[in-house]
Structure formats: structure tokens, C-alpha cells
Amino acid sequence: MIKPLGTYHFDEWSAPNSQHSKASKMNKIAIVGLANQYPDAQTPEQFWQNLLDKDSRSTITPEKLGANPAKYQGVQGDSDRFYCVKAAYISNFSFDPANGYKLPEDTFAGLDESFLWALDTSRNALIDAGVDWNDAVLERCGVVMGNLSFPTTQSNDLEMPIYHSAVEKALQTKLGVPHFKLSPYNAHRTYGFANISSLNAANGLIAHNPSKLVAQALALGGAQLSLDAACASSCYSLKLACDYLTTGKADMMLAGAVSGADPFFINMGFSIFHAYPDHGVSAPFDANSKGLFAGEGAGVLVLKRLEDAERDGDNIYAVVSGIGLSNDGKGQFVLSPNSKGQVQAFERAYAATNLHPSDIEVIECHATGTPLGDKVELTSMERFFADKLQGSKAPLIGSAKSNLGHLLTAAGMPGIMKMIFAMGEGHLPPSINLKTPISSPKGLFGVNTMPTQVQSWPDKAGNEDWADRRHAGVSVFGFGGCNAHLLLESYTPEADKHSFVAESPKVPRQAEPLKVIGMASHFGSLKNINLHNAITAGTNAFVELPKKRWKGLDKHSNLLQQFGLRSAPKGAYVDQFEFDFLRFKVPPNEDDRLISQQLMLMKVADAKLEPGQKVAVLVAMETELELHQFRGRVNLHTQIADSLKMGVHLSDDEYQALEAIAMDSVLDAAKLNQYTSFIGNIMASRIASLWDFNGPAFTISAAEQSVYRCIDVAQNLFMKDNLDAVVIAAVDLSGSFEQIILKNAYGPVALHPNVEASEDRTYIVNMLNSTQPQWNVGEGAAAIVLVPTDFVTSGCAGYGQIDALDFGSETVHETPITLDKLLTQAGIAYHFNKVSMIEQCAAPASDNQLEKIPLSTYGPVTHNQVEQRLGHCFAASGMASLLHGLLNLKNRPKQQDTIPCMTEKAKCALINNQSEGQSSALLITQTSAEAQQLTPRLVSDLKSDEKHQLVKQVTLGGRDIADRTILPHNMGFRETLKHNDEAASF
């Protein structure tokens, strides 16, 4: 767990004149372009017309499920069944790879449609904004894309055959039928069938891929990251994009969200949650509504600073004047909304603007149609607005989910666009299917505030100060207590000349250095002090594959060879770890246990800070590919039935027993808590819940750059919001079979890790006689706690300091420029001899440009690679490099001179990370006092005085799939089959 230097009360050690003493007013941001891909609405104009027509898009479309719905139809509470198949799906989508993208056309072949939705919509939004493809502004344009970190239709094609190959071989033995074949899992899919030879490995990079694809295909030079804040992701991406503009790190941003996970996976999960209506009625704010209908889609907004948009003569759709983010913190189950957190989002939105709550005329609500969610949302609005209306009417309210269903991570985009068009056109579309409106506790919001017909925009009298401007709010509240409230204004040039506009930077604002006041890690078998000792002793974490890690898949030589492996590689695997289930308030029973990815992340990110503070939690991660085991299990229900029709005859009892054995061999039936842990952002929310943190909590995905993007976002949040601290955690259990075969497609894995300390990576010759760097297997999790340096008193030294961060292209020309810019930021551009160490990490198949730069440029410098000790940890690799750098820096000789950016003597290191065509560089420093704090801190973790309450071992992987199928407890079943003449004649 993270242990900062004592338990801090932030109000006692914040500098009284700190720039962080209160949140700054938000710069006004102009929305200058937009586009969407919604069910039956491929353009904003079509979407708007559907709203005016009171059109509903929830339908039954079995082909999207990739299965025969009748075979999986059940009732509420059934395992491995869904009780609702209605949803709002996209159909007839077409994508033209020859549309001028900056990537080869074959890049798009076989990609999941959801990634293409994000790209196509981003392109159309830029066209709508009047951006020319050769415009220099694209070099200063970035993208933030909300995305659901769930399996997709095409990622299933990559992973499902793995499990079914093992099950098929086991069933051949069990049935005594050597030529038994499982029917293809996607035999019922009527579209997009993928042949194994046409699979695109990029489909396995689920969480990050939408933003990566957009940035590369459109040649965007700014920040690019994907995030998961559940149903609030749209507004979170908008807030982060606005921050990049207001800090001057970008001149234009794309803020978007996409939701295109496997519909089968979604339907099964929401059935487990009991989120669907069991009587087929879903209508937000209606007393008869018992749940939601899911949907899919994408929406993208193009943003500029308002003054820049006016200068450029852009068409301004609307103005973003304030956004408030919060987390529910401690209180209720992670899927249950909490009014406390929602009200905080309202408060923070208005604190960031000069608008008053009484100015708001309409609020587009989150309202999904679930009884609890709708009731809590009305209560929250009443609590906030009741005493702030100053005699004006309560805002009118509605929800576009009545038309489109719940688009999950993209849920906010239809509501935002609905408000933009409603303010601009002067007409307000109603919520549909509303027959028996519910109301807030005291009736402030109810039937009189819920239009059921199209009406004129309810301009409020008495708003003379705002001229002819209209004002709207948009609320989005996501699983895990992720809350956001957005304030929009219509654009009126004359009015905006007299409105408040905060100072906008023409050059990037200098981010304040950040102090590391807490840290913890668990990579491979090395935890905290053990990692320190390994560095001191020069040892590594590489071991043979743990027995259960791959569920016996390592025994299938044909399967290994199919994916380019001769054998299971040695690596820095995590075998097992201890977890205190009572302390973290999660169920310990193995049949409903959270997935290991979330348990390990929670363990290392146990922040030990003062509860109830405005602390943000940012988690660097990628989609856990083992989630595919869920559908791998469930789909066997129809596969086995279809396969047995080919000649194997069993009694009903025998069939039921065989199906249960085969399905359980892949994964036990998922229950509520386990499926909840499939949701990526929930791990950030669990950390916030444990300590009652009320700052934003969400995940960030940017491949090997994920941790550095978290630091980048933390810098922005400290500059723009009144945060007490930021917890940055990272996790990637990349030693799974699913992960290794996927990453092996990008660059060959080292079967026997190279552990020699060298400036050169290991190279092998591939079949095309070209050289590719091997990578060492690594996995684990780690976390740090960051605060601005002016928060730290003289008695609290911390463990080190992040002085500067910069990003550039991964080229031999750009990398030195990035490093030079970094040193310039820190004030030591002409003091290269102050850099005593370079910690470097390069992704598989990455062109390691740092090795092509003479190290003598930086004076007497040590060159380290954490991969030599911990392997390559992908989304967590940045954290491994950072902690490895801090621990190595501690052992470096003392600097003889004071570094210009420090007030005392310190040691300095550069951390360089190269992946996905990007190069990031981090400058860290460490004083003698900070170095002295490290060892006692790490040792104290082993002598923790925390009272353990319910500690159990968590083992990664599981029982052997084949053995579990072949050798069940009911041996008599096997004997029965031996005498089955029908089976013998198969």
C-alpha cells in the first residue's frame, strides 16, 4: 500500500498563498464542429430531426448479438442468460479507407466497427469545423476519446478460439471421439464474419485504440488518450480537452466518446445487474419504467478557445462555460448513485463560471429509466436548485435516452448535441413515452418541468444581463459514482464581448513541479523493499511460467505454435498476492470475486491519505483480455448443442452435465460483483470509495504512454481545479496467455529474457530477414501520490520530484528535441552534466531512437532499462520506469553542484518512453533528504501496524481448462459415454 510521509491533513500543509487555494474560472471554449454516428442517425441533422419527430430507436436486432437470442433467452436472475434483447444499434455503417487518411488503407482491414465509428465521426467533425487536412493547426490538435473498456465483436474473433481449442481437445478425449469439432462460436453471426487469416491484431488494443487511430489517421500532433469514466465519459473527455486548451498545451481539441462493445457481452451483463425492465417498458422519469435499454454510437466535438474561434471566423455552435466533475466517494454500492456526489458536480460547474443557477433554462438529464437512478437524480437537482432560483422557474428537464437508449460511455454526446441544436433552433424536443411522470421529493421537478411535446425554448425573463443568450445544463452520472455537469450557452457575439473570459494562454503555461509523497509497487514477485533490494543486488524478477497462470494452455504445443510461440516464455510473472477483503469491503468468496486486475490495483493504491478530500484518482490501464473468458464460457451453451447434433447422442442429464463441465472449465458463472469488476473505471472508483475521495476518478489508456498521460492530466487538473492531491495508479497483468500472444504479433517475445545491462536491446532475425527487438514478459501494478511542491512543508520531503514532462514524435530527429525542451522547462538546458541517469523504455516493435543519440551529450550518465529487471509491463511500464528511476537515483553518487531548478543539492534523471510513434520524456530529481526517506518507507511496509482482518491469497490464472473438462468429479459420466454406440460411430 502507499504510505506517504505521515498521514496528511491537506489544509495544514497547503501554502496559504498557493495558486491552488481555489479553483480558477474556466476559460470559455467554443464548439466549432460536431459529428455523430447514432442508431439511424449518421448526421447531426438526421439526429435532430429524429428528436423533433419523437422517434424511438430501440429495436430487437438478433444479428448484432452474434447468436440466436432464443437460445439464451431466460428470466431475471438466470445465470448465462439474458432477459432483454431490445437495444438501439447502428446499422448500415459504411467506411471508406480511401478518404484521405494518413495511414495505409490496409490498416483498416478487419478493424472493429466501433474504432471506425470514432475515426469517421472525428473526420466528419473536422470537416464540419472547416479544417483543411494540411492546416497547421492539426499539429497543435489533440484528441480525448471516452471508450468502454469491454470486449468487442472483433476482439472476440482474436480470443475466443483460444479457449474453445482447449475445450475441443478435452471433449475429444472425454467423448472418445477423436474427430469431434466444436461449431464456430460465431456461426450464428450474419455479418462481418472474420476468417482467421484476416484478423487484425489491433482489435486486441481495445481501450486505447479509438484515440490512437484518430490521432494517427488524421495526423494530429497533440495529446491523444482514451478514458473510461463509465456513462460520464462524454463530459469527462470534454473537460480534459478544455483543460488542454486553457493551459495552452493545444490550440484545437477533439472531444469525443464511443461505445461499441460486444452487444452479447452487454446484454448478459445488464441482465446480471437487473438493469433491464422485466416488462419491456423503459421511459426516463416515468413511474412505470423498470430499467433501461442499451445502445451504441459515437459523437465528437471540435473545440477551440473562444477568442481563437472568433479570430478565425469559425461557426460557433455553442460555448462551454463550466464543467464540474466529482466522485460519490464512500457510501453506497459502486453501482448505486449517490446524491452527495451529484450535487458536488453541480457546485463545481457553477464555481467554474460566472453563471448563476437561476439562469439555466433547460437541463438535459442523465435519466436512464431505472427507478433508483431517476429518483436520485431528481432529488439531487432539487437539493441544489431549490434555494438558488431567485424567484425564477425551475429548469425544464428531459432525456434523449428515451429516443436512443443508453449509449453507455457515449451517453452524454446525444444530450450535449440535443442542447446545442435546441438553443440554436429555439425548439425543445420532449422526452418520449412519458405517461406517468415522477417528481422530486418536494415537487420542484415533476410533471410541470417535463415537456411531452415539442415546444419553444423557455427563454427566462429578467436575464437582460445575458442579452439574447440561452443557457443549458447537461448531467451525466456513471457507474462507480463518476459524476459530471456541463454548462452550455448559445453564442451571441455582442453579449460575449461583455462576458467574463479568463486569460487564455498564447503559449503553454508552465506546469508546477509535482512532489511524489507516496509510492507502492508489486511487479512480478518484487514488492516495494524487495524491488529496492533487487536493484541493489543486481537481480531480476524472471521465473518460469507459474503453474496456474495460463490455465494449462501452455501444454498445448499446437496452440502455442499457432500464435508463434515455441514454448511458454520466462518472465516477471505475478503468481499470487495477499489481499485483505474485509478492509477493502469486497466479497472474498471465489465464486463471486473481483478480477485480479482490480484487486491488485486496489492493493497498491491504498493511499493512506486523509479521507473525504478532493483527491483525484487516475488509473493507467488497458482492457483486461481475460474478460473474453466470460463469453468463451457462455457461448459453449450453443456450440456444444450444435456440435453434438453431428452424431454424438446424450441423454438430457448427460448433456446438462457435459455442458456444465465444459463451461465451468473456461470460467465459473459470473455473478454481480465479478461482472462489476469487468468495468474498467470501477477500480478507480473503488479507491475513491475506500477513502471517500470526491475528486474525479477514471481510467486513462494510451499504451506505454498511459502513466505519462496521467501525469499530464494531473498537471492540468492542478492548474485548473482545487485538488488536494492526485493518486496515479497503473496496472497491466500482461503475463496472461491472451496478452502475450497479442503482443507477440507486434514484436517477438523473448523466451529467455536478456538480463545483461546494456545500451543495446536484444535483436532477433525474423522470417523476413529483418531485425526486431525482443521484449521480456513483465506484469504488475504500482501507484504514486502527487501534490504540487508548494503544498509540501519543510518537514515533509517526499521521495522525489517530477520537474517537467514533454511529448514528441518517435524519430531520431524529434527525440533529442523533446529531451532538450524538457531540460529547458526545468531550467537546466545548458547543464547536461547534471543528468546522472537515463531510464529508458521502448515498446515492442518501437524504433528505439534514444540508443541512436550519443549519451555523451548528457555528460557522465548511467543508462538503465527497467525491462532488464521487471520485463515490459505495457500500460504499467511508465510507472515501472518511474519507480525504477527513483530507486536507482537513490544509489547514484551525490551531485557536486546545485541544480538550477532546485533549492538544494539534488540528483537528476531523465526517463524516456517510446511507443506508438510517440516519445515522452520525464525529468525527475531527488534530494539527499528524499533519498534517505525511501528505504525506511519501503521497509515499513513489511512492518505495517495495520490490523489485517480477512487476508486471503489471490492466485492469477486458474485451473487447467482441459483437465477440468476431462477429469470431473463425476467419473461415472465418462464410463457411460464409453458404452454409447452412437458416439462410437461418429
Judged by DSSP in three states, 712 sits in helix
Distance (Å) of CA 271 to CA 130, 148, 366, 678: 44, 18, 20, 14
Collapsed DSSP state (helix, strand, coil) of residue 477: strand
pLDDT tens profile 692-710: 999 999 999 999 999 999 9
All residues at 6 or more sequence positions from 939 whose CB lies less than 8 Å from its CB, including other chains: 529
Domain segments of the chain as ranges:
30-152+206-497, 156-198+629-671+965-984, 514-624+678-943
Q: How many CB atoms lie within 10 A of CB 23?
A: 16
Contact assessment for residue 819 and residue 912, using Cβ atoms and an 8 Å cutoff: yes
Helix boundaries (H) for 338-451: 339-351, 371-385, 401-404, 412-425
Taking the CA atoms of 64, 70, 71 and 75 in sequence, report the sign of the dihedral they define.
positive
Query: 500 φ, ψ to 5°?
Result: -70, 125
Residue with cell 462493445: 261
Top CATH class of 30-152+206-497 equals alpha beta
3-class DSSP state of 381: helix
- For residue 250, which amino acid is it? A
Rounded distance between C-alpha atoms, residue 677 and residue 406, angstroms: 20
3-state secondary structure 214-236: HHHHCCCCCCEEEEEECECHHHH
**What is the biggest distance separating any 2 CA atoms in the chain, rounded to whole angstroms?**
90
Q: Which stretches of the chain score pLDDT less than 70?
A: 1-24, 60-62, 187-198, 462-467, 494-509, 607-610, 755-772, 793-797, 810-819, 822-833, 845-860, 892-905, 939-948, 968-986
Q: Which three cell numbers stand for residue 812?
A: 531520431
Q: From 874, 337, 843, 875, select the one nearest 618 (Cα to Cα).
A: 875
CA dihedral sign, ordered 495, 497, 502, 507 = positive
- Integer CA distances (angstroms), 564 to 488, 554, 559, 569, 621, in order: 53, 13, 9, 12, 26
According to the model, what pLDDT value does residue 21 have? 41
- CA-CA distance, 831 to 834, in Å (whole number)? 6
DSSP 154-216: HHHHHHHHHHHHHHHHHHHHHHT-TT--PPPTTTT--S----GGG--GGGG-TTTHHHHHHHH
pLDDT of residue 838: 86
pLDDT at position 513 is: 92
User: What pLDDT shows up at residue 112?
Assistant: 96
The architecture in CATH of the region 514-624+678-943 reads 3-Layer(aba) Sandwich (3.40)
Beta bridge partners of 141: 252
User: How far, in Å, are 27, 74, 242 from residue 504 at the CA level?
Assistant: 7, 56, 11
Is 30-152+206-497's fold the same as 514-624+678-943's? yes
HEC string for 778-807? ECEEEEEEEEEHHHCCCCCCCCEEEEEEEE
Closest C-alpha to 733, from 571, 590, 860: 571
Triad 488, 125, 140: Cα angle to 5°: 90
Give the rounded distance of the alpha carbon of 951 from its chain centre. Answer: 29
Please tell me the predicted confidence (pLDDT) of residue 901.
45
Would you state the pLDDT for residue 501?
47
The model's pLDDT over 827-846, given as tens digits with 9 standing for 90+, comes to 654 455 578 888 888 888 66
CB of 681 within 8 A of CB of 698?
Answer: yes
Beta bridge partners of 700: 227, 620
Cα dihedral angle (452, 456, 458, 459), rounded to 10 degrees? 170
Burial 602-614 (b: 16+ CB within 10 A, else e): bbbbbbbbbeebb
Q: Specify the DSSP element, H or E, that contains 638.
A: helix 636-644
Give the chain's length: 986
Nine cell digits for residue 212: 490512437
Q: What is the pLDDT of residue 810?
A: 62
